[in-house]
Amino acid sequence: MELTEDHPQDGSAPAAVVPPLRRIVVESETVPIRVGDYAGPPDPNYGRDPWQVGTGTEGEPVWVEERMRTEDLSIAYGDNRAVKDVSIEVNSGEVLALIGPSGCGKTTLLRSLNRLVELTPAAKRTGRIILDNQSVDDFDVTQLRSRVGMLFQQPNPFPMSIFDNVAYGLRERGSKKPRRKILEPVVVDALERAGLWDEVSSNLNHPALALSGGQQQRLCIARSLAVSPEVLLLDEPCSALDPISTSIIEETIVELKSEVAIVIVTHNLQQAARIADRVAFMYLGDLVEQGAAGQVFGAPREERTQDYVGGGFG
């Protein structure tokens, strides 16, 4: 297998060292070296070119297209800078995992992508966040957040029926509430994509809070998917779940990445290795290193990354 550098300008080839974690990475079916679709020639509307991330089975180049990026993004709570000059891209068709010890700013970075961080009083931002070549500040918040969905650490379905939960975003989008008949196909589709349909198809009117934790989290995925987002932000979505629910959610994430760009914050390195295509390691607000999952786990360039993924601290 051939690893291609995800930062073409960097040029340095991954070192040939084989630390223990690499084994997990290589054996995992879902992990990197995407045999993705050829993204096609550069889209003139995009501004930036899609870039090659690897080579497909037939030797054809594999491209990803940028969905979002931050440019020198800094976020501060009062005097405390939680994110320092971070520039990172979020691409369609891949899972980007943000890893790092607690308090390293990864959740803040994630929450800034849909401007949810602005709910925190005293949060300040410098630098730009671009969604489809347009600054996120130019979007109406409602519109931005339906294009950039989010999932939280704790499953948070609303105290309503399963149907109403999934339909919530659609109903609240306009001033006129669509009828159930119109909503139904969208709700069913969202539940199917979240892998929950088979379990709840017969009791859409049951309270969502009666579902198990894992089901609730998948319901939240469906709730986000219902408003057809382009990017899905996941903030440690499995930290409150048992291993079986976790693996179901992970499967769902991997299935979704072909249609939605996914950014996941996780404390769980194995999880990042299992599902991520690209990994960014953050430490004390700095983006220390980003690269293909295999490279970051297998041959980290930075010493701090090496220490963290090797279990030296964190």
Partner 1 sequence: MEAASFNEVDLQEQTLEVDRTDRRVELLLGALASTILLLIAGMIIFVFVKALPSFTHNGLAWFGSGGSVDDQLMNIFNSPAEPENYVYHLRAWPLLYATILITGVAVLISVVFSVLSGIFIVEFAPERLRKTIEPVVKLLAAVPSVIYGLIGILVVVPFVAEHLISEGRKESVAYVIQLDGTSILVGVFILTIMICPIMIAIIVDALRAVPDKWVEGAAALGVNRWRAMRTVSLRAIRPAIVAALVLATARALGEAIMLSMVAGSVGFAPNPLDGFTFFLEPARPLASTIVDNAEGLSVAPFGQTMYAFAAILLISSAFLSFAGWAARKSFSRYTLGAR
C-beta closer to partner 1: residue 172 or 242: 172
In this structure, the number of other CB atoms found within 10 A of the CB of residue 63 comes to 22
Q: Which residues contact 214 (CB under 8 A, 6 or more apart)?
A: 241, 242, 244, 245, 246, 248, 249
CA angle, corner 299, sides to 72 and 297, nearest 5?
75
Sort strands 278-283 and 95-99 into parallel, antiparallel or unpaired. Answer: parallel
Binding mask 142-181 for partner 1 (x = CB under 8 A): xxxxx--xx-x-x-xxxxxx------xx--xx--------
CB of 109 to partner 1, least distance (A): 15
Q: Are 216 and 151 in contact (CB under 8 A)?
A: no
Q: Is 91 exposed, middle or buried (0-12, 13-18, 19+ CB in 10 A)?
A: buried
Structure tokens at 38: 């050829």
C-beta closer to partner 1: residue 34 or 106: 106
C-beta closer to partner 1: residue 4 or 216: 216
CB of 279 to partner 1, least distance (A): 24
Binding-site size for partner 1 (CB under 8 A) equals 31
Answer yes or no whether residue 141 interacts with partner 1 by CB under 8 A.
yes
C-beta closer to partner 1: residue 139 or 297: 139
For partner 1, which residue of 97, 220, 231, 241 counts as binding (CB under 8 A)?
220
DSSP string, 231-267: EEEEESTTTTS-HHHHHHHHHHHHHHTTTSEEEEE-S
Answer yes or no whether residue 109 interacts with partner 1 by CB under 8 A.
no
Answer yes or no whether residue 67 interacts with partner 1 by CB under 8 A.
no
Residues 212-236, buried b or exposed e (16+ Cβ, 10 A)? eebbbbbbbbbbbbbbbbbbbbbbb
Task: Single out the segment in contact with partner 1 by CB under 8 A; choices: 35-43, 98-106, 114-122, 268-276.
Answer: 114-122
DSSP 50: P
CB of 52 to partner 1, least distance (A): 33
Task: Single out the segment in contact with partner 1 by CB under 8 A; choices: 18-26, 54-62, 73-81, 217-225.
Answer: 217-225
Does residue 80 sit in helix, strand or coil?
strand
CB of 162 to partner 1, least distance (A): 10
Q: In whole angstroms, what is the distance from residue 32 CA to residue 295 CA?
A: 10
Task: Single out the segment in contact with partner 1 by CB under 8 A; choices: 31-39, 93-101, 137-145, 293-301.
Answer: 137-145
Q: In whole angstroms, what is the distance from residue 137 CA to residue 10 CA?
A: 30
C-beta closer to partner 1: residue 150 or 275: 150
Where do contacts with partner 1 occur on this chain (CB under 8 A)?
114, 116, 119, 141-146, 149-150, 152, 154, 156-161, 168-169, 172-173, 207-210, 220, 223-224, 227
